[in-house]
Amino acid sequence: MGLDYYDIESLLSADERMVRDTARKFVDEEYLPLVRDAFRRGYFPKEAIPRVASLGFLGANLPEEYGCAGLNNVAYGLINLELERGDSGLRSFVSVQSALVMYPIYAFGSPEQKRRWLPELASASAIGCFGLTEPDYGSNPGGMKTRAVREPGGWRLNGTKRWITNGTIADVAIVWAKTEGDDSRSIRGFLVERDTPGFSAPEMEGKFSLRASVTSELILEDCFVPEENVLPGSGGLKSPLMCLTQARYGISWGAIGAAMACYECALDYARSRKVFSRPIAGYQLVQQKLVTMVAEITKAQLLSLRLGRLKDEGRMRPEQVSLAKMNNVSQALAIARLARDILGANGIADEYPVIRHLLNLETVNTYEGTEDIHRLTIGRDVTGLNAFE
Binding site for ligand FAD (CB under 6 A): 96, 130-133, 138-139, 163-165, 210, 215, 363, 366-368, 370, 372-373, 376, 388
Contact map string, positions 146 to 175, toward ligand TGC, x by CB under 6 A: -------------------x----------
CA distance 115 to 109: 10
Hey, which residues between 367 and 386 contact ligand TGC (CB under 6 A)?
Answer: 367-369, 373, 377
Contact of residue 379 among ligand FAD, ligand TGC, none (CB under 5-8 Å per partner type): none
Pick the closer one to ligand TGC by CB: 272 or 386. 386
Using H for helix, E for strand and C for coil, what is the string for 7-27? CHHHHCCHHHHHHHHHHHHHH
In the bound state with ligand TGC, the residue whose beta carbon lies nearer, of 79 and 267, is 79
Q: Is 368 noted as a catalytic residue in this protein? A: yes
Q: Tell me which of 120, 134, 217, 368 is the catalytic residue.
A: 368
Could you say which residues in the range 64-83 bind ligand TGC, by CB under 6 A? Answer: none
Q: Which bin fits 19, alpha (ψ -120 to 50), beta or left (φ > 0)? A: alpha
Minimum distance from residue 301 beta carbon to ligand FAD (Å): 25
Cβ distance 79 to 25 under 8 Å?
no
Q: Pick the piece of the chain touching ligand TGC (CB under 6 A) from 9-17, 237-245, 256-264, 294-302.
A: 237-245
Q: Closest approach of Cβ 176 to ligand FAD, in Å?
A: 8
Return the number of the residue (138 or 198) whose C-beta is nearest ligand TGC: 138
173: left (phi over 0), alpha (psi -120 to 50) or beta: beta
Q: Which does 242 bind (CB under 5 to 8 A by kind): ligand FAD, ligand TGC, none?
A: ligand TGC
Binding flag, residue 242, ligand TGC (CB under 6 A): yes
Report d(CA 22, CA 155) in Å as an integer: 44
Shortest spacing between CB 48 and ligand FAD, in angstroms: 18
One of 42, 119, 235, 236 touching ligand TGC (CB under 6 A): 236
Nearest to 235, CA basis, from 131, 352, 108: 108
Closest to ligand FAD by CB, 87 or 368? 368
Out of ligand FAD, ligand TGC, none, which partner does residue 113 contact, by CB within 5 to 8 A per kind? none
147-151 vs 154-165, strand pairing mode = antiparallel
Number of residues that bind ligand TGC (CB under 6 A): 26
The rounded distance, in Å, linking the Cα atoms of 371 and 366 is 7
x-or-dash string of contact with ligand TGC, 125-144, rule CB under 6 A = -----x-xx-----xxxx--
Contact 77, 57 (CB under 8 A): no
Q: If contact means CB under 5 to 8 A according to the sort of partner, which of ligand FAD, ligand TGC, none does residue 372 touch?
A: ligand FAD
The conformational region for residue 198 under phi > 0 = left, psi -120 to 50 = alpha, else beta, is left
Interface residue with ligand TGC, options 42, 154, 226, 318 (CB under 6 A): 318
Least distance (Å) between residue 103 CB and ligand FAD: 13
Residue 220 β-bridge partners: 159, 199
* Near ligand TGC by CB under 6 A: residue from 61, 73, 92, 331: 92
CA distance 305 to 311: 10
Nearest distance, CB of residue 207 and ligand FAD, angstroms: 6
Residues marked as catalytic: 368
Binding site for ligand TGC (CB under 6 A): 92, 95-96, 130, 132-133, 139-142, 165, 236-238, 241-242, 244-245, 247, 318, 367-369, 373, 377, 388
